Amino acid sequence: MPDPEPLRIIHCFRSPIGGIFRHVRDLAEAHARQGHEVGIVCDSTTGGSYEDSLFDEIRPFLALGLVRLPIRRSIGPADLAALWKSYKEIRSLQPDILHGHGAKGGALARIIGSALRVNKYRVARLYSPHGGSLHYNGKKPSGKIVFLLERLQEYLTDAIVFVCDFERRTYEHKVGKPRIRSERIYNGIDDRDFDTVYARPDAVDFLYIGMLRDLKGPDLFIDAFARTERNIGRPLSAMMIGDGPQKDDYEQMMLERGLGRRIEMLPAMKARDAFAFTRNVVVPSRAESMPYIVLEALAARKPVIASRVGGIPEVLGADSAALATPGDAQSLADVMTAAMTQKDWAAKVMPEAEAFKTAFATSTMSASIMRLYRQLVPEKASLRKTAAKTP
């Protein structure tokens, strides 16, 4: 039996920052190495030099190119221009798969894919929420509108891919049980990320790495750090690595509490580079789906202390002693204190390494997603219509 013909895959998402960007980069590289042609459409107004360097790394794997255009976070008239420009770019690339990530990326992929179908061009339309719109409160008008839009877009969707069981349950609770095909496929990280990252001699006790915004809990990290010092009765050290809209607020918070010399702040960098600076990684988020930082830290053999949110308990274990009550600085401080004072705390609490790797490797994730792609595009040659014939 001949090998199936390579697929043409385009990933659409808004902001090239954080977990979604990591997810797409990993999928793009894995599928490109298998001989598929991959492209990316995303926002041009977010990200900085660090994100530019990540694009440079992935560019050799993007046979269908990288298209960046303004895609705003909020819904507004500017979306129409972004939609039209994206449609023209994507139509010219003749994709077999349009995979949208996050609310805006999902809307672009599904609306454009449906427009192509109207023009008799067959393309599979997939959506991965990655948390995104699911963080809205369904009791508020804004949340009700967002969830109604999510429901309506199911008519434009061939499959929804959830990155954890928590995300699936949240979607079912807030939007409704999917009326189309849905799969749970865990995020995964590359085999090269499973090498141990050893702490430097001057490593700090605790590290926060991620977006500097309240949703991710940097303020809780600062508060819990101060409480941990009081619990232990001596000064500790910490580091915060990342960029974001509330960076100045957190710097002011540290100064007011006299922590400026014991908590160092550095701009965004690769997680594995950051891990060498610390002995423990803290993920104090108020809300999450399946954060990559937890997977990356565990793969690097770093102890992880985290809030009991999103899919994190699916990684660390539902009853893990490493989990703190969400939004509770004292609960977080209690776990941080245990990590510092209890003998062999990490060895007793962290998940078993081989079982973790089996469940959360990129090879597992990319194979599962490719299997889904193939099922949605069973005979590629008969499904694709040449875009050039479309008026």
Residues 305-320: tens digit of each pLDDT: 999 999 999 999 999 9
Number of domains the chain contains: 2
Q: Is residue 292 part of a domain?
A: yes
State the chain's mean pLDDT as an integer.
Answer: 91
Residues 331 and 370 in one domain: no
Residues 72 and 119 in one domain: yes
Residues 347 and 204 in one domain: yes
Q: Is residue 1 part of a domain?
A: no
Helix (H, G, I), strand (E, B) or coil at 23: helix
Helix (H, G, I), strand (E, B) or coil at 4: coil
**Exposed, middle or buried, 27 (CB in 10 Å: 0-12/13-18/19+)?**
buried
Q: What is the pLDDT of residues 240-267, one digit of tens each?
A: 999 888 999 999 999 999 998 999 999 9
Place of tokens 């990316």: 40
CB 373 within 8 A of CB 107: no
Q: Is residue 2 part of a domain?
A: no
Percent with pLDDT over 90 in the chain: 75
Range of the domain at 321: 192-355
**Exposed, middle or buried, 192 (CB in 10 Å: 0-12/13-18/19+)?**
exposed
Alpha-carbon distance 13 to 17, whole Å?
Answer: 10
Residues 180 and 279 in one domain: no
Residues 293 and 335 in one domain: yes
pLDDT at 387: 43
| Cα 32–chain centre separation | 20
- Side chain identity, residue 374: R
Reported in sequence order, the residue ranges of the chain that DSSP labels E, i.e. its strands, are 8-12, 37-43, 65-69, 97-101, 124-128, 159-162, 181-184, 206-209, 238-241, 263-266, 281-283, 304-307, 323-324
Residues 145 and 241 in one domain: no
Residues 199 and 110 in one domain: no
Q: Which of 290, 262, 13 is nearest to 127 (CA)?
A: 13
Helix axis angle, 362-376 to 18-33, nearest 10°: 70
Q: Which of 135, 86, 133 is nearest to 113 (CA)?
A: 86
pLDDT at 136: 85
